Structure 1
Amino acid sequence: MTGPAEDDAPLLTLMPDRLGLPRGRSALPESEVAASQRGRILQAVTEEVAARGYAATTVQHVISRARVSRTAFYDQFADKQDAFAHAHLEASEQLLDLIRQRVAACADEDWRRRLRVGVEAYLAGFEGAPSYAVSFMVELRGAGPRLLDQRDRIVDRHARNFSRLAEAAAAEDPGVRRPAKLEVIGVIGAADELATRAIRATEPGSAPRLGRLVAPIVAIYEAVLLQS
């Protein structure tokens, strides 16, 4: 698996492209100022939740890390949970995009290779962004029904992507079956559980080392695809 230290390693970040704003009256359009503040808040809530836990994190913690005013926070988000939900949604979009891009780059290779590349991308995304790993794989589970429902919708999207890979694999390999939706959700849940356990076992402040999970997760996916 490609590790986060290499030059082309993915780095998930919610920070805006323009990280700093001029002091005093800003020469930037209000829309850019708001976008910069929003990105800093989303990154800050992710990092604060990873460091403190969801329950202990407050809006004050978030705005202090983001370096924005309380007014700026409430101009964009209703409360801590709202900010965390938006951070999770955007981070999940980034991770799904990363997986799609990596799989598309090896579209001419066989389905087993495409499957392995997708798993590697999923794990590398979390290796390269430890705060995302803790916040969205561990702490999210205690962040309330809204976050759990949102996670279910993200898993459903992941399941649709995997089902498309299964369709393509079945077209090129008669030994591949088309799994039912609940089977796909089940294997995604198994992969998430393995990753979550490894993330929880990681020392605070350290990047999780998830490369050893590639083989078992690939085996789980292959088991549901291959006819016995």
Structure 2
Amino acid sequence: MSTTGSDEDLPAVLTLMPSRLDLPRGRAALPGSEVAASQQGRILQAVTEEVAARGYGATSVRHVIARARVSRSAFYASFTDKQDAFARAHLQASRQLLGLIRDRVADASGAPWRERLRAGIQAYLDGFENAPAYAVSFMVELRGAGSLLLDQRDQVLQRHARNLAWLAEQAAAEDPAAHRPPDLELIGAIGAADELATRAIRVTATGARPDLGSLLAPIADIHEAVLIHRR
């Protein structure tokens, strides 16, 4: 992991699995709603891992339910098809990553805006480094998963851009050189970060942990260029 600080500073591995995985048997059995939640979490995790390992096109519902250790009927009780499961997994993963970024920026509150910006970018990179299956599935394979996933990716980029807009407003309040740029410029900066990360993830060996540390400086430079007034 290419980040400053000790191992204790690193984020936990991102996971879609529910916190309670071992379903007790007999009289201690969980209620049906908790069993269903556990199965759904395992399916979301499984589709992410299968797509990362096989590619989206080669992954089938049969592969997903085998990895998730659920029945076909349990799968179809929650999802209409493979794409539905993959889209739900992407949405949950994106929420987790956004939460990780927000937490890291909040931890840097009080620091100059450039440091807060870099803290958020480092969290973004750490999230993918810590979760190689997420990185491959949602940065590489998603682009061939159909228009539903591409539309959802655009929505996620807009959420990232809203967070960057919030930071830009803070930067403008404390630094006369900074400003809140138009939304399309913010989306462009986020998209550039995604493209750089995707290129690095795509050339990483299957199952290996991507090394994204070298991307911190160029991504930060792109974001700062967007947030600074043009001369």
CA root-mean-square deviation: 1.5
1:69 to 64, 68, 71: 71
Change (3 A) 1:25 1:50: farther
Percent identity, aligned pairs only, is: 70
Distance in 2 between residues matched to 1:184 and 1:6, nearest whole Å: 32
1:156 corresponds to: 158
| CA displacement 1:103-152 (0-9 Å, x = unmatched) | 01111111000000000000000000000000000000001111111111
| CA displacement 1:38-95 (0-9 Å, x = unmatched) | 0000000000000000000000000000000000000000000000000000000000
Distance in 1 between residues matched to 2:136 and 2:153, nearest whole Å: 15
Distance in 1 between residues matched to 2:114 and 2:210, nearest whole Å: 25
Q: Structure 1: which amino acid aligns with 2:62?
A: Q
Distance in 1 between residues matched to 2:130 and 2:139, nearest whole Å: 14
1:208 to 202, 207, 210: 210
Q: CA deviation at 1:21?
A: 1.9
1:17 corresponds to: 19
1:62-141 to 2 correspondence within 5 Å? 62-141=64-143
Distance in 2 between residues matched to 1:163 and 1:91, nearest whole Å: 22
Q: CA deviation at 1:223?
A: 0.7
2:38 corresponds to: 36
Change (3 A) 1:48 1:161: same
Q: Structure 1: which amino acid aligns with 2:22?
A: G
2:223 corresponds to: 221
1:147 corresponds to: 149
What number of residue pairs does the alignment pair up? 227
Residue ranges of structure 1 left out of the alignment (5+ in a row): none
Distance in 2 between residues matched to 1:217 and 1:100, nearest whole Å: 17
Distance in 2 between residues matched to 1:138 and 1:18, nearest whole Å: 30
Question: Which stretch of structure 1 is more off in the superposition, 10-19 or 56-65?
Answer: 10-19
Distance in 1 between residues matched to 2:7 and 2:60, nearest whole Å: 35
Q: CA deviation at 1:24?
A: 7.0
Change (3 A) 1:153 1:18: same
Structure 1 segments of 4+ aligned residues over 4 angstroms from their partners:
23-26
Distance in 2 between residues matched to 1:143 and 1:209, nearest whole Å: 25
Q: CA deviation at 1:25?
A: 8.2
2:47 corresponds to: 45
Distance in 1 between residues matched to 2:188 and 2:204, nearest whole Å: 25
Distance in 1 between residues matched to 2:60 and 2:36, nearest whole Å: 21
TM-score if structure 2 supplies the norm length?
0.95
Q: Structure 1: which amino acid aligns with 2:10?
A: A
**Helix, strand or coil at the partner of 1:176:** coil
TM-score if structure 1 supplies the norm length?
0.96
1:173 to 175, 191, 196: 175
2:3 corresponds to: 2
